[in-house]
Amino acid sequence: AQSVAQPEDQVNVAEGNPLTVKCTYSVSGNPYLFWYVQYPNRGLQFLLKYITGDNLVKGSYGFEAEFNKSQTSFHLKKPSALVSDSALYFCAVRESDTNAGKSTFGDGTTLTVKP
Amino acid sequence: GAGVSQTPSNKVTEKGKYVELRCDPISGHTALYWYRQSLGQGPEFLIYFQGTGAADDSGLPNDRFFAVRPEGSVSTLKIQRTERGDSAVYLCASSQGLAGGSEQFFGPGTRLTVL
């Protein structure tokens, strides 16, 4: 079985400060890991993914995430937050060894960036 | 280009009725996924197709739920004898197959309300 935990329902940061949205996962074998963002009244949008290789992955809108195998984590980060980053963020995992298509999502973290 | 589209955007039905939800994936995407999202939760996997066949339907909650993709493009999620607990947003996504951990492109969802 595979699972994702996003331990924080809400993250609040001030504009210009660094942000971190946490994600830990559990999967048999090696993972594919994804971050998606959901803006109000819009569908989920892909931000970035870890497949293999460099543990630091860079994605859209200046976001990056660090894969840590020993801690089974894939935290989303951004050096300087913008008010427009305020949205709902989802982490997802898929098992890579069998190339299975089933993805498991966390329950989401609401990021609020205040001016 | 056109993204994933879902129709209808909203569906209100009465308990016990039959409903069909339609998904048009991005042209050329071979993999198609259905999820259900309840308020305050992340997308919950239902089923995914690789081509015309259901590769994994382990997420369908019971035999009232069924999905088809007869020509490997458009998919229909069918729910028989709807119950109030079926009320949720039903999301469809597509991807360019599964190789390399392809990211998913989501539609806007169909909000199903069972009265």
- Is B25 within 8 Å of chain A by CB? no
Preceding amide of A115 cis, omega within 30: no
CB contact under 8 A, A4 and B106: no
CB contact under 8 A, B33 and A36: no
Secondary element (H or E) of residue A112? strand A109-114
- Is A49 within 8 Å of chain B by CB? yes
CB contact under 8 A, B101 and A103: no
Smallest CA–CA distance from B89 into chain A, residue: A43
Rounded Cα distance, A9 and A61, in Å? 22
Rounded Cα distance, A34 and B105, in Å? 12
Q: Chain A residues with CB inside 8 Å of B92's CB?
A: none
Rounded Cα distance, B76 and B4, in Å? 13
Domains delineated in chain B: 5-11+23-100 (2.60.40.10)
CB contact under 8 A, A43 and B56: no
The pairing of beta strand A31-38 with beta strand A24-26: unpaired
Rounded Cα distance, B80 and B111, in Å? 16
Q: How do residues A7-59 score in pLDDT, each as one tens digit?
A: 999 999 999 999 999 999 999 888 999 999 999 878 899 999 999 889 999 99
Domains delineated in chain A: 3-114 (2.60.40.10)
Secondary structure E strands in B1-115: 5-7, 10-13, 19-24, 31-37, 44-50, 53-56, 65-68, 75-79, 88-95, 105-106, 110-114
Q: Look at residue A53 in the predicted model and tell me its pLDDT.
A: 87
Rounded Cα distance, B74 and B51, in Å? 10
What percent of chain A has pLDDT above 70?
99
Nearest C-alpha of chain A: how many angstroms from B107? 6
What is chain B's alpha carbon radius of gyration, rounded to the nearest angstrom? 13
Those residues whose C-beta lies under 8 Å from the C-beta of residue B62, and which sit 6 or more positions away, are none
Half-sphere exposure (CA, 13 Å, Cβ side) for B91? 23
Local confidence band at A101 (pLDDT 50, 70, 90 cut-offs): confident
How does pLDDT run along chain B (115 residues), one tens digit per residue? Answer: 589 999 999 999 999 999 999 999 999 999 999 999 999 899 999 999 998 988 899 999 999 999 999 998 999 999 999 999 999 999 999 998 776 688 999 999 999 999 9
Contacts of range B65-69, beta carbons closer than 8 Å, 24 or more positions apart: B67/B34, B69/B32
Within 10 angstroms of residue A102's Cβ, the number of other Cβ atoms is: 18
* Cα distances (Å, whole numbers) of residue A19 to A63, A78, B19, B26, B48: 10, 5, 42, 33, 34
